[in-house]
């Protein structure tokens, strides 16, 4: 049963009444913890150690990177952790003139989806692509190019996707 409200009690404030009303200002002392979850937590920890890990589903056979604890194709939990290589190929890419904070860049960056060796086709991580000629990128010549991760030194790694500085083109791998 629905109830229709005919009239709200009270009255709306005029701007003058609102501005004249006492106001309170306070700063909450909010404390919180955030978890990346089991799959991404392990993924980030392995990045800190210079390794890339995924999860395998025994039913469909996919190796998912970034890892997931649940297979969205089979609707079941994934089965095991699998290390993949830090090499792969550029699936797609874009040339960006904006930084992560939306400020304008003088020199554009190339960002792409990298399909890692050992992961299932179509699985990839979004990352910077470095050491490339921007004119080659503009001409569309980076699709399918083989790349390798360039890692930060171990003492600078924090357990973040930025522990990989970028992926660079490689030959003959």
Q: What is the pLDDT of residues 8-41, one digit of tens each?
A: 788 888 899 889 988 888 888 888 888 889 999 9
Residue 173 has pLDDT above 50, yes or no: no
The pLDDT value recorded for residue 37 is 93
- Is-contact 169 145, C-beta < 8 A? yes
**Burial of 27 from C-beta contacts in 10 A (0-12 / 13-18 / 19+):** exposed
Task: Count structural domains, the chain.
Answer: 1
The pLDDT value recorded for residue 6 is 80
Q: Please give the span between the terminal C-alpha atoms of the chain, in angstroms, as a whole number.
A: 69
Residue 103 has pLDDT above 70, yes or no: yes
Domain assignment of residue 13, yes or no: no
CATH code of the domain covering residue 140: 2.40.50.840
**What is the rounded distance in angstroms from the CA atom of residue 64 to the CA atom of residue 74?**
13
Q: What confidence tier does 45 reach under pLDDT thresholds 50, 70, 90?
A: very high
Domain assignment of residue 20, yes or no: no
Domain assignment of residue 3, yes or no: no
The pLDDT value recorded for residue 25 is 87
The pLDDT of 70-94, averaged and rounded, is 97
Domain assignment of residue 50, yes or no: yes
Domain assignment of residue 6, yes or no: no
Domain assignment of residue 43, yes or no: yes
Domain assignment of residue 67, yes or no: yes
Written as six digits, the tokens of 167 are 């992926």
The pLDDT value recorded for residue 7 is 79
The pLDDT value recorded for residue 172 is 55
Written as six digits, the tokens of 38 are 């089991």
pLDDT in tens, 120-138: 999 999 999 999 999 999 9
Domain assignment of residue 26, yes or no: no
Q: Which domain holds residue 70?
A: 37-169
Q: Radius of gyration (Cα) for the chain, nearest Å? A: 25
């Amino acid at each position: 049963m629905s109830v229709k409200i005919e009239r709200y009690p009270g009255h709306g404030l005029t701007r003058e009444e609102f501005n004249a009303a006492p106001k309170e200002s306070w700063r909450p002392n909010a404390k919180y913890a955030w978890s990346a979850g089991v799959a991404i937590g392990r993924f980030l920890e392995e990045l800190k150690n210079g390794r890339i890990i995924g999860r395998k589903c025994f039913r469909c056979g996919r190796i998912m990177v970034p890892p997931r604890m649940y297979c969205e194709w089979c609707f079941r939990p994934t089965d095991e952790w699998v290390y993949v290589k830090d090499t792969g190929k550029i699936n797609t890419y874009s040339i960006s003139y904006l930084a992560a904070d939306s400020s304008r860049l003088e020199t554009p960056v190339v960002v792409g989806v990298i399909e890692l060796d050992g992961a299932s086709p179509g699985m990839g991580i979004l990352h910077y692509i470095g050491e490339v000629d921007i004119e080659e990128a503009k001409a569309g010549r980076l699709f399918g190019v083989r790349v390798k991760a360039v890692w930060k030194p171990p003492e600078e790694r924090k357990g973040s996707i930025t522990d990989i500085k970028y992926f660079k083109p490689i030959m003959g791998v």
